[in-house]
Amino acid sequence: MNFNLDGAAKQVIADLRELASLTSDEKGAQRVAWTPVWQKARTWFADKARQSGAAISIDPAGNTWATIKGKSDDSVIIGSHIDCVPNGGWLDGALGVVVTLEILRRYGINEEKPTKTIHAVNWADEEGARFGVSLTGSSAVSGDLEVDRIINFTDNDGNKMRDVLAQYNVKLENMLQANQEFKKHNVTASLELHIEQGPVLENQGKDVACVYGITGVERHYIKFTGQAAHAGSFPTEMRQDAFLAAAKSALAFREIALKHKGVCTVGKVKVHPDVVTIVPDECVISLDQRSIDKDVLAKMYSEAKEATQKFAKQDNVKVEWSKIWTIAPTLFDKELVEACKQAVKEETGEPTTIYSGPLHDSAELAKLVPTVMMFAVSQRGLSHCKEEDTPEPKLETAIRAFMRLVHKVVM
């Protein structure tokens, strides 16, 4: 490879700093999808991509496509999202979009003609920060966007999603046409560079890793129902305390997570009637369980259910489960994972791998085409906040490794 990888990595960081300075304030990055700052960011990307020799188009879901023709019609998608959460960081999503500018320059204006056609894609609204619909643009492309379910969604100020999207020339009812458009391209691979957003790589002393999959999720509400009673006059052993059964269950979930090396989170606790002198008659908790292995996930789910039934019986209360949302684990394409591990090894000496706990646009792409991701280490594991950072030398290592992967796949 004659290409100057060091210079390219430094240029990507300079571009990232420029984007951050254009779209951040003292609280952090403000590129929330379907807002003027996001529009500014996506226009910035499209302009720079055009200057790099790419042809720009926007699909019916608002995803920006920057294309450089290769020698063959087979094509490779490389992308991520430029939108962020309110008061977000400078790297989440932006890293994977901005790195494509340097890729476009290399294979576009610098005339290192690729074998495969390259589509650099800025996926619209990955975060779902304004309307609560995550992976909007990429799920429209996969065909799984639930248009009927979200058509009347509003933001916190009561603005209708369909009206706001129309201001950005996206017709909500037509977004799934992006799926038909996608099928016209002969896509053979999809690649995404992202920050880890967790502490695992830093803990292992690694700068970059091949991501071989994304965890599945079991997400439920669990409602315990007992009997309200006077806090002074009711003997302990006679109570039907709904909170105690919930609390014991939460402790059991932690043991289940540790035993199976997955994660279990009780993020919501609602106690009724929420009065200091009344034994609670109702307690609703949420449970979010994740694992990369579908059998392990199924086991964690059934063991959690058994635990709640055991403690409900012990405390003489009733327990009911209701599903919020579930998704099976995504395992990325074996060949691409091998290529990705090789690229990481060439850069760092080790073929480090990791799986992702957070969801990404790549989970939607993986439904359609062979897909793989690469993670850059996150300092202190922090993300979705202005403290989100990766030291520049480590970021450069990750960018260089990713550009090595791209070269293997497009040539």
Binding residues for Zn ion (CB under 5 A): 92-93
Q: Which residue is nearest to Zn ion (CB)?
A: 93
Give bridge partners of residue 265 from the DSSP assignment. 288
CB of 83 to Zn ion, least distance (A): 9
Range 202-241 burial, b when 16+ CB lie within 10 A, else e: beeebbbbbbbbbbbbbbbebbbbbbbbeeeebeeeebbb
Residue spans of beta strands (DSSP E) within 338-411? 353-356, 371-376
What is the distance between the alpha carbons of residues 150 and 223, in angstroms, rounded to a whole number?
27
CB of 125 to Zn ion, least distance (A): 11
Range 94-106 burial, b when 16+ CB lie within 10 A, else e: bbbbbbbbbbbbb
CB of 317 to Zn ion, least distance (A): 40
CB of 239 to Zn ion, least distance (A): 46
CB of 64 to Zn ion, least distance (A): 16
Q: In this complex, which beta carbon is closest to Zn ion, that of residue 162 or of residue 194?
A: 194
Under DSSP, is residue 72 helix (H, G, I), strand (E, B) or coil?
coil
Q: In this complex, which beta carbon is closest to Zn ion, that of residue 66 or of residue 94?
A: 94
Q: In this complex, which beta carbon is closest to Zn ion, that of residue 92 or of residue 389?
A: 92
**Which amino acid, one-letter code, is at 59?**
D
**Which amino acid, one-letter code, is at 368?**
L
Q: In this complex, which beta carbon is closest to Zn ion, that of residue 81 or of residue 223?
A: 81
Where does residue 322 rank: exposed (0-12), middle (13-18), buried (19+ CB within 10 A)?
exposed
CB of 287 to Zn ion, least distance (A): 24
Q: Is the peptide bond before 280 cis (omega within 30 degrees of 0)?
A: no
Q: In this complex, which beta carbon is closest to Zn ion, that of residue 70 or of residue 93?
A: 93
Give bridge partners of residue 323 from the DSSP assignment. 220
Contact 266, 284 (CB under 8 A): no
CB of 292 to Zn ion, least distance (A): 18
CB of 93 to Zn ion, least distance (A): 4
Range 374-401 burial, b when 16+ CB lie within 10 A, else e: bbbbbbebbbbebebbbeeebbbbbbbb
Q: In this complex, which beta carbon is closest to Zn ion, that of residue 214 or of residue 403?
A: 214
Q: In this complex, which beta carbon is closest to Zn ion, that of residue 62 or of residue 108?
A: 62
Q: In this complex, which beta carbon is closest to Zn ion, that of residue 94 or of residue 292?
A: 94
